[in-house]
Amino acid sequence: MIKIKHIALASSIAGIGFVSSSAIAADSPHTLTANVGLYSQYVFRGLAQTNEEAALQGGFDYSHASGFYLGVWGSNVSWLKENATSSAGVVSGSYNTGGSLELDFYGGYKGSIGDFGYDVGLLQYYYPGSQTGTNIDANTLEAYVAGSWKWFSVKYSHAISNDVFGTKDASGTSYWDFSASFPVGETGLTLGAHYGIQTYEGRDNRLSSTLLNNDNLYSYDDWKISAAYDMGKLGKTFDGMTVGVAYTDTSSANCQGYGSYSSTCSVNGFSSTGVYPKDIADGKTTVWISKTF
């Protein structure tokens, strides 16, 4: 019996933090920002990262008037220790020590031409700790390019590292993010919608059959609807605070690398079971409150 394992996580910096802008000096080209948020759970690209438990997240950003920027962001995670059952032929990527923290380091250049915005950069997902046995670590490097027009945006992320979120020989794996954000007049309420396409490339040569590859084991689509409210509308006491709610779901099969221990299904005729305490790819609701500085 094949036990499909996958490490899919990390936080896309755009869309999960609400960042304020505080210039070092009124006439300085340098800007430092900070953000912190408490979430009922951490969801990345439709997949739960904290077993549906709370996540504390925050980061720091530096930007220059020229358009260049750097930043760091962090969150607690739990999936690295949860998918701990090893299975011959399929990489597990489980961590023996550490594995409870995700740190994202990123930098790039962005600007605008009229109503059109653009952004290019690199993002390193880093998970401190050591993996169990010969499992593949989760550290992943992606390059990205994004464009926006008024309420709409599209972003393409391309994995440069050979191993991608614990999946071996998956360089070239990609993610498309199609999003829209609609402010409701001057109410402080913003409605959001998102559709994502996660496509895994390559094949781990340790897989037990040529019928199995990274694409048919791990690729999926995800979608999200959300609403966020700027609490600053209630008075200065709440300046920089935002509350929100989001519902996410995916097209993932019941145990397509992301299912629970009780999940059973078939991938190209091979019997499979999930490896997480709960199905990390099923529909879920997240609420949060954040503060900007």
Domains delineated in the chain? 2-292 (2.40.160.40)
Instruction: Count other C-beta atoms under 10 Å from residue 85's C-beta.
Output: 14
Q: What is the pLDDT of residues 108-142, one digit of tens each?
A: 999 999 999 999 999 999 999 877 666 677 899 99
Please say if the pLDDT value at position 6 is more than 50: no
User: What's the average model confidence in pLDDT over 32-60?
Assistant: 97
From CA 122, how far away is CA 13, in angstroms rounded?
12
Which amino acid appears at position 211 of this protein?
Answer: L
26 pLDDT band, cuts 50/70/90, is low
- CA 208, 210, 216, 219 dihedral sign is positive
Bigger pLDDT: 22 or 168? Answer: 168
SS3 for 152-190 is: EEEEEEEECCCCECCECCCCCCEEEEEEEEEECCCCCEE
pTM for the structure as a whole = 0.86
